[in-house]
Structure 1
């Protein structure tokens, strides 16, 4: 593992209603390279979308990376750092544990909607993805 190279990951999840249509997004900053990703789910919860953002970002990385993962989800950060009890979403926690075990990760909480550029950009992407899910759900209902 290259101890000098640290990859910065910023994640966010959004849900229109809880449960409801949701979206997730990430930004990966690796030196001068920046990658973005997002996706959606027609029926989900905000917590699932926060977790999916981290999962999908970690899937992009090759093994054994040094990572700082930033999220405005206290549930995500405190579960991964302080061992908060995992009451729901066992499927996603298991996947996140598996992916996190492949890397050296520092989990960092950032205050949401507080002007942090990457967090705001992830929020915008996640909201757009949630809107796409809402549109998809609406289209399915009309059929």
Structure 2
């Protein structure tokens, strides 16, 4: 059983932002984070889950993802994202990330649990610290090419 705790943050929405992930398997724990110069909170929430699932080396693992993002949790648990696949994600934001998510999601047995953010949940609070710090680390901010291209010219994607 693997537990993944995630959070995303953006200052400005859009603006600089980051994601934070805590992975736990038994006594082992790993933290991951990254930041982007221009992004949104929803993108970072979703990317945190993608990064967490991608870090699992062995396929077929039982995974529980804890997220404070209704956007992510409801989209998967209420099966909306699978309907979006059928319509080619028409009219949906973040289709590049949703496609990446589906590629790693299918590798494991994933269950999502929504947790209330900023509610003294230790792992969620740690993920928030990681996400905010990553978004503020100007020297290490990456470019979210898909987001910036879509934002500057939606007809490109």
Work out which of the residue numbers 117, 125, 128 in structure 2 matches 1:120: 125
- Structure 1 residue ranges, 4+ long, deviating more than 3 angstroms after superposition: 133-137
Residue aligning to 1:47: 42
Number of residue pairs the alignment of both structures matches:
132
Residue aligning to 2:51: 56
Q: TM-score, normalised by structure 2?
A: 0.80
> What's the RMSD between the two structures over aligned residues?
1.6
Q: TM-score, normalised by structure 1?
A: 0.88
Q: Is the 8 A contact 1:48 1:89 kept in 2?
A: yes
User: 1:132 Cα deviation (Å)?
Assistant: 1.1
Residue aligning to 1:110: 115
- Rounded to whole Å, the distance in 2 between the matches of 1:135 and 1:37 is 14
5+ long unaligned stretches in structure 2: 85-91, 143-157
State the Cα deviation string for residues 5-47 of structure 1 (Å, max 9, x = none): x101000000011100010010001000000000011000000
5+ long unaligned stretches in structure 1: 1-5, 138-143
Residue aligning to 1:83: 79
Residue aligning to 2:66: 70
